[in-house]
Amino acid sequence: MRVVITGAAGGIGREARHQLAGRYSVLRLLDREEVDPAGPDEECLKVDICDLAALEAAMQGMDCVVHLAGVSVEPESNAWEQVLPANIVGTYNVFEAARRAGVRRVVYASSHHAVGYHRRSEILTGAALPRPDSFYGVSKVTGEALGRLYADKYGLSVVSLRIGAYRPKPTDIRHLSVWISPRDMVELLRCSIEAPLLHYVVAYGMSANSRAIWDNREAAVLGYRPLDNAEDFAAEVLADGAPELEGAKPFHGGWYCGWDLGDHGLFID
């Protein structure tokens, strides 16, 4: 198995590199920033995902691409201007380069913000319709749609992962439902890389949280069995955790649904 990781210098990329070291015959690490020197069975390349030709060259001879690169949060200013090239054009480039290079699978780092305006009273599956809560969420909906297109039209095997709150531990009440630990995140990536014979799957990136608001049966199909549970931190979060924005509490997307509203107020159907 020969695997490419885009965004290898980012938080999830660094953790994946550490936990997956030595697992694959080649782990090719791409980022627009310099990546730490290559270890055994690693190759480090400075590549911008906005450069289609460079991406295509970097994917030659590879079996799977894990696409983590892009703007990872909603920027507080000029959001669309930042999200458009990095998360939409760049994601198109990744799928198109993979197709041209004959890569068989793409694992796409989507986000639960693609469905952030669904209410928390609704348990979501991977079949939940898009309801983005931000321009960032819109970019992830677009990436999922590109993945579906490239699976259906060109035969790529695609996994879209709606990642929850990735961090060492949960820090607010909503995280008790949507948190994913670094250990579980990389295990989900590994399962997505190695699962046999799949066409297109949407799964959620979360740990085995007792308060889960997502039905993650699709991740189970991949063979994912998370080990961590946000409930282990519940007492600390309930005592000292950050408060939620009041208007954002009904929604899966949390504070993304409640900020940058100006005088328009919060849409609630």
Rounded alpha-carbon distances, angstroms, from residue 217 to 203, 209, 245, 252: 8, 14, 30, 18
Taking each helix axis from N to C end, the angle separating 11-20 and 182-194, rounded to the nearest 10 degrees, works out to 70
DSSP string, 238-261: HHHPBPPPGGGTTBTTGGGGTSS-
H helices present in the chain, as ranges:
11-20, 52-58, 79-83, 90-101, 135-154, 175-178, 182-194, 217-221, 234-240
Looking only at the bridges linking them, the beta strands covering 2-6 and 179-180 are unpaired
CB 110, CB 219: distance < 8 Å? no
In 3D, which of 59, 110, 115, 91 has the Cα closest to residue 253? 115
Catalytic residue among 136, 166, 204, 224: 136
136 is catalytic: yes
From the CB of residue 233, how many other CB atoms can be counted at a distance below 10 Å? 18
| Residue 78 structure tokens | 């000029």
Query: Taking a C-beta distance cutoff of 8 angstroms, is the pair 8, 42 a contact?
Result: no
Residues labelled catalytic: 136
